Amino acid sequence: SQKIEQNSEALNIQEGKTATLTCNYTNYSPAYLQWYRQDPGRGPVFLLLIRENEKEKRKERLKVTFDTTLKQSLFHITASQPADSATYLCALYTGGFKTIFGAGTRLFVKA
Amino acid sequence: EAEVAQSPRYKITEKSQAVAFWCDPISGHATLYWYRQILGQGPELLVQFQDESVVDDSQLPKDRFSAERLKGVDSTLKIQPAELGDSAMYLCASSPNTGARGTEAFFGQGTRLTVV
């Protein structure tokens, strides 16, 4: 069956370190992949999009990689801050207008 | 900055009652989505509109849920009758119709539904 997996356990890191979140998928060949941030009780906010022909994308302290052979995307936050604490969702465009979201990974950055 | 507006923010209803949610997308956005998000899970697409037409409602429980976007602008999602398992966050999102794949979705704040 088609599946998107993100670390179900929360990620706890110290301020200033790099946070790395993983998104693995099976049985898809997505044309692109998106990452969103979601704070408690609020709607997701778009962060980055990476296309199947791109290996890496950067935006300020954020970096996303996309390995279509491994069927994996990695999301990095460098020099993390307590304000980066949130749930991060990956989303795959699977064709036919459909985008599928993963369950998300909670990140806690300690001061 | 333009936002997707949703109302109400919170709704408590008794099971078997009817409930409705409203969404006003960002002006000019042709694509509108309704998602349901259960606590601890990712958003699940219920229905997607392109202008006033439904392009995907494969995950919409049509025996109790209905959605409309009559003039291709704002949209209403209705549940009748509500069941305990419908308790969740209902999110509306919109995207501009740029013709390019991969356009980001802009989400509203959501409606937190509790069925008692």
Contact with chain A for residue B108, Cβ under 8 A: yes
- Nearest by CB to residue A44, choosing from B44, B107, B112, is B107
- Of B43, B48, B56, the closest CA to residue B31 belongs to B48
pLDDT category of residue A17 using cuts at 50, 70 and 90: very high
Q: What is the pLDDT of residue B98?
A: 57
Q: Is the peptide bond before B81 cis (omega within 30 degrees of 0)?
A: yes
First to last CA, chain A: 41
Question: Which pLDDT does position A52 carry in this prediction?
Answer: 87
Would you state the pLDDT for residue B96? 84
pLDDT tens-digit profile, chain B (116 residues): 789 999 999 999 999 999 999 999 999 999 999 999 999 999 999 999 999 999 899 999 999 999 999 888 999 999 999 999 999 999 999 998 655 566 789 999 999 999 99
For residue A31, give the nearest of B35, B101, B106 by CB distance.
Answer: B101
pLDDT of residue B103: 76
Residue B98 touches chain A, beta carbons under 8 Å: no
Task: Tell me which residue of A67, A74, A79 sits closest to A21, measured CA to CA.
Answer: A74
Q: Which residues contact A70 (CB under 8 A, 6 or more apart)?
A: none
pLDDT of A96 over the 70 cut? no
CA contacts within 13 A on the Cβ side of B4: 31
Per-residue exposure over B19-56, b if at least 16 CB sit within 10 Å of its own CB, e if not = bebebbbbeebebbbbbbbeeeebbebbbbbbeeeeeb
pLDDT digit string, tens, across residues A52-87:
889 899 999 999 999 989 999 999 999 999 999 999
**By the 8 A CB rule, do A2 and A94 touch?**
yes
Q: Which residue has the tokens 């929360």?
A: A10
Residue in B with minimal Cα distance to A95: B101
Q: What is the mean pLDDT of residues A39-58?
A: 93
The one-letter code for the residue type at A72 is Q
Q: What is the pLDDT of residue B100?
A: 57
3-state DSSP assignment of residue A81: coil
Residues in A closer than 8 angstroms to B107, CB to CB, are 43-45
| Nearest residue, CB atoms, B41 vs list A46, A98, A103 | A103
| Contact indicator for B95, B76 with CB cutoff of 8 Å | no
Q: Which residues of B83-112 are buried (b: 16+ CB within 10 A; e: fewer)?
A: eeebbbbbbbbbbeeeeeebbbbbbbbbbb
Q: Tell me what pLDDT residue B3 has.
A: 94
Q: Tell me what the pLDDT averaged over chain A comes to.
A: 92
Residues 52-81 of B with CB under 8 A from A: 55-56
* Contact (Cβ atoms closer than 8 angstroms) between residue A43 and residue A104: no
- Give the residue from chain A lying closest to B43, CA to CA: A101
Query: What does R_g of chain A's alpha carbons equal in angstroms?
Result: 13
CA distance B66 to chain A (A): 19
